[in-house]
Structure 1
Amino acid sequence: MTGVETNRAMLRHFVATAFAFEKPDHLAVAVSGGGDSMALLHLLSEWAREEKVRLQAVTVNHGLRPEAAEEARFVAEVSERLRIRHTTLNWAGKTADGNLQDAARRARYRLMADWAKGQGISTIALAHTADDQAETFFMRLARASGIDGLTGMQRRRVSDGITWVRPLLMQERFELRQYLRELREPWVDDPSNDDEAYERVKARRAMAELTKLGIDAHVVGRVMDHLSQVRSALDFATHDHALDCVTEDRGDLILDRRRFAEGAPEVNRRLVEAALRWISSADYGPRGMKLQEFLSAMMRGRDATLHGVRLLGGKESFRLTREHAAVAGAVALPGALWDGRWIVESVENQDGIVRALGEDGLLQLGERPATAPPRESLIASPALFVGNTLIAAPLAGHGPATARLVPAKGGFHTALLSH
């Protein structure tokens, strides 16, 4: 077998292996037009035909560069030639405040997830490579990231109801471009890949120097795999600790003070960070000193707020509940998702809106049952109003409505082992 045949066989093997245990009937591939994603498009086109899997391609045009629209058309033309249905999604948020690149990245995943669900697609393939993985490692190392950050991207993960698969995460960039040259297939070079204003480009240049010490993408990949095993062990330790010291109560989490204190500092940090994400329905938790200050408040038995979550200290336990200020403007119709985690359904099919109970609702509620959650929890809980009139406050057992907790990753203890 020639070197050309070996390279192609290896790439086909990695693509097939990525779906060996869970082959989707309908798959999408994210394609930007660059060498990595164009290689994946061709590889998946071949694999999908053999496996009789429906394949679609999707491109997100962020509108950040004038060439982006032309690149999307290029991907559409190649997809048409390969008889693959292609869709371009456009992002209108290029004036977003803060880190524009990060906002664009999050928007890309959100747009693709929403589009895929509308197409009946549950799996999207991404073209990240070993080079991307190594660059991510060094970028996060520069930020003094912990274990979670340094483990990098996962080969398979579930987020926003979509399974994201990276079949080429063990392959280097040059191997994919060599594959395209063998096919005599073009790709687009993004000029921003040479712009040192971007952190990733700086990491790429640094890696070129580190290869002189024998530190290449594959070496970094092995280190990240080792760290991933450490992370897995910590996840299980955190889960076991949570089973021992955390109970759920109508969307709140109650931590036994004594049992929590028995946990190792890193396990407790991970537990609280996960609790904040679970209650706030956030993709990411707080970082650094803010989380450490929150943990310190817990250990001192003081109240605190962070990440849209309120900490209520106590002698025997802590209570983590939603912060009212974080949901004060959130509204939904009955039967729709409110605050990313609650569905309120009216028993009598009354009109109205779902919003936080608030101080006004609490006044209308009157005397609360002894079994009701604390006041701080209630005012941030979902309630049904018609105009300004309270119809139901389900968590207080008031009125003709029910509230169902539907966090994206299930109960808290389940979420601890979900990534």
Structure 2
Amino acid sequence: MNQKSLSAQNKTHKQILSFLKNRKISKVYTEFSSSFNTKENLAVAVSGGPDSLALAYLAKCYAIKNKITVKFFLVDHKLRSESTKEAASVKKILQNIGIICKVLRWKGKKPSRNIQSLAREARYSLLAKECKKNNIKHLLLGHHSNDLFENFLIRVVRGSGLNGLVSFNKRVKYKDGDLNILRPLLDLEKNDLINISKRVFKSFIKDPSNINETYKRTRIRTLLESLEKEGLDLKKLKSTIDNLRDSDKSIKFYVKKNLKDNSLHIKTKDICILKHNFFEQSHEVVFRSLTFVIQKIGKKYYPVRGKSINELINQILLKTFSKITLGGCFVESVNETILISRENTDKIQVL
């Protein structure tokens, strides 16, 4: 980089960091930077909303202060006619403070049902591929505390178990485990992020899908707003979620212990043997342990449906089966043990 370019870059960096002189923005940055500790390069998923723009700004500050590289990506799902124009607008908004953003496009035929879920899956896939291409192991998402509450209520409506209710974490592994999904804003409120976007970028994009009552998340968001007006204390709701998360950690401890003490994984044959004692734990521990084993041996990204796992546990306890398939695995009873192996072409009972 020549002297002129270096001088321009330094000027831009000073301009970016100058906003940290604001007390509120500085406080948010402190919370943001303390939520993860890495000197490795990062990627940021941008959408154009106030939360993701605030994330982009905070990540850029972190990059400058820690002398690392941050890549910024925006996914254009092309589900709306104006989405490409909006993506160009977001690029321009970011470019005004020296942030270069690459647009990733979801190509091919678009779904007519389950749109939000499939679009989210496509978004993660595109972002993960770009991170792999750039040898980046950490992807930052702009989810904040309001998203945490919405996700919790969605899971309540679905009848999710404890593991599902607290699944929205600050740090999770994506698919093969090579990419860390980080949510450093999860303890921050949306209003704080709107304040940053207004001060730094002067504007942001309003996604019309956020007010479209066709989508469950939008209806849950509206419900949450109504509950707040009726006196729901979000701090107490956050405390409830934290308490549930602590309980979940305790269960995970016993699941890990059960897997260690009562199962044997023969890696060379990719077979897992479950001892009799494996099924003498509490139901939740057995349920999670068995789900983990079948998902691991079957090499599936998503776990088997809970209903199928419960049916299998009942059959094992009642000793009413000899051999079935589930989640890409053979599950068979051998003396006092359960043998789980990868499925082949044999025709047997399917659960």
TM over 0.5, yes or no?
Answer: yes
Number of the residue aligned with 2:325: 305
Number of the residue aligned with 1:240: 257
Select 1:187's aligned residue among 199, 204, 208: 204
Number of the residue aligned with 2:297: 279
Select 2:238's aligned residue among 216, 221, 238: 221
Q: Alpha-carbon deviations, 1:238-268, whole Å to 9, x = none?
A: 1111111110122121101x21232111100
Number of the residue aligned with 1:105: 120
Alignment of 1:32-47 (within 5 A): 32-47=47-62
Are 1:255 and 2:270 an aligned pair?
no
* TM-score, normalisation: structure 2: 0.86
Amino acid in structure 2 at the alignment position of 1:251: D
CA contact (8 A) 1:124 1:163 kept: yes
SS of the aligned residue for 1:268 comes to helix
* TM-superposed deviation, 1:282: 2.1
* TM-superposed deviation, 1:324: 2.1
Deviating more after overlay: 90-99 vs 208-217: 90-99
Number of the residue aligned with 2:18: none
* TM-superposed deviation, 1:115: 0.8
Amino acid in structure 1 at the alignment position of 2:42: L
Are 1:23 and 2:39 an aligned pair?
yes
* TM-superposed deviation, 1:81: 3.0
CA contact (8 A) 2:90 2:205 kept: no
In the alignment, the residues of structure 2 paired with residue 164 and residue 319 of structure 1 have an alpha-carbon distance, to the nearest angstrom, of 34
CA contact (8 A) 1:58 1:112 kept: yes
Amino acid in structure 2 at the alignment position of 1:23: K
Number of the residue aligned with 2:7: none
CA contact (8 A) 2:94 2:201 kept: no
| Percent of aligned positions that are identical | 29
* TM-superposed deviation, 1:147: 0.8
* TM-superposed deviation, 1:216: 4.1
Cα root mean square deviation, aligned? 2.1
In the alignment, the residues of structure 2 paired with residue 308 and residue 234 of structure 1 have an alpha-carbon distance, to the nearest angstrom, of 26
Number of the residue aligned with 1:333: none
Number of the residue aligned with 1:392: none
* TM-superposed deviation, 1:99: 2.3
Select 2:100's aligned residue among 65, 73, 85: 85
Amino acid in structure 1 at the alignment position of 2:333: G
CA contact (8 A) 2:255 2:285 kept: yes
CA contact (8 A) 1:304 1:312 kept: yes
* TM-superposed deviation, 1:97: 7.3
In the alignment, the residues of structure 2 paired with residue 181 and residue 110 of structure 1 have an alpha-carbon distance, to the nearest angstrom, of 30
* TM-superposed deviation, 1:49: 1.3
Deviating more after overlay: 282-291 vs 40-49: 282-291
Q: Alpha-carbon deviations, 1:276-327, whole Å to 9, x = none?
A: 21122222212232221122222233122222222111221111112225xx
* TM-superposed deviation, 1:103: 1.6
In the alignment, the residues of structure 2 paired with residue 13 and residue 77 of structure 1 have an alpha-carbon distance, to the nearest angstrom, of 27
In the alignment, the residues of structure 1 paired with residue 232 and residue 271 of structure 2 have an alpha-carbon distance, to the nearest angstrom, of 46
Inter-CA distance 75–280: structure 2 relative to 1 (3 Å threshold): farther
Amino acid in structure 1 at the alignment position of 2:115: L
Number of the residue aligned with 2:5: none
In the alignment, the residues of structure 2 paired with residue 193 and residue 216 of structure 1 have an alpha-carbon distance, to the nearest angstrom, of 23
Number of the residue aligned with 1:411: none
* TM-superposed deviation, 1:75: 2.4
Select 2:311's aligned residue among 264, 271, 293: 293
In the alignment, the residues of structure 2 paired with residue 88 and residue 188 of structure 1 have an alpha-carbon distance, to the nearest angstrom, of 15
Amino acid in structure 1 at the alignment position of 2:170: R
In the alignment, the residues of structure 1 paired with residue 298 and residue 236 of structure 2 have an alpha-carbon distance, to the nearest angstrom, of 37
In the alignment, the residues of structure 2 paired with residue 177 and residue 59 of structure 1 have an alpha-carbon distance, to the nearest angstrom, of 19
CA contact (8 A) 2:79 2:110 kept: no
Inter-CA distance 184–159: structure 2 relative to 1 (3 Å threshold): closer
Select 1:269's aligned residue among 282, 287, 299: 287
In the alignment, the residues of structure 2 paired with residue 184 and residue 245 of structure 1 have an alpha-carbon distance, to the nearest angstrom, of 56
* TM-score, normalisation: structure 1: 0.72
Alignment of 1:400-415 (within 5 A): none
Number of the residue aligned with 2:335: 315
SS of the aligned residue for 1:324 comes to coil
Number of the residue aligned with 1:14: 31
Select 2:226's aligned residue among 209, 230, 233: 209
* TM-superposed deviation, 1:213: 4.5
Inter-CA distance 319–104: structure 2 relative to 1 (3 Å threshold): same
In the alignment, the residues of structure 1 paired with residue 137 and residue 151 of structure 2 have an alpha-carbon distance, to the nearest angstrom, of 26
SS of the aligned residue for 2:340 comes to strand
* TM-superposed deviation, 1:100: 2.5
How many matched pairs? 322
Q: Alpha-carbon deviations, 1:103-162, whole Å to 9, x = none?
A: 211121121111101111111110001000100000100011111111141111222411
Select 1:132's aligned residue among 141, 147, 151: 147
SS of the aligned residue for 1:154 comes to coil
Inter-CA distance 98–304: structure 2 relative to 1 (3 Å threshold): farther
CA contact (8 A) 1:28 1:56 kept: yes
Inter-CA distance 94–176: structure 2 relative to 1 (3 Å threshold): farther
* Unaligned runs of at least 5 residues, structure 2: 1-20
SS of the aligned residue for 2:32 comes to helix
Inter-CA distance 218–321: structure 2 relative to 1 (3 Å threshold): same
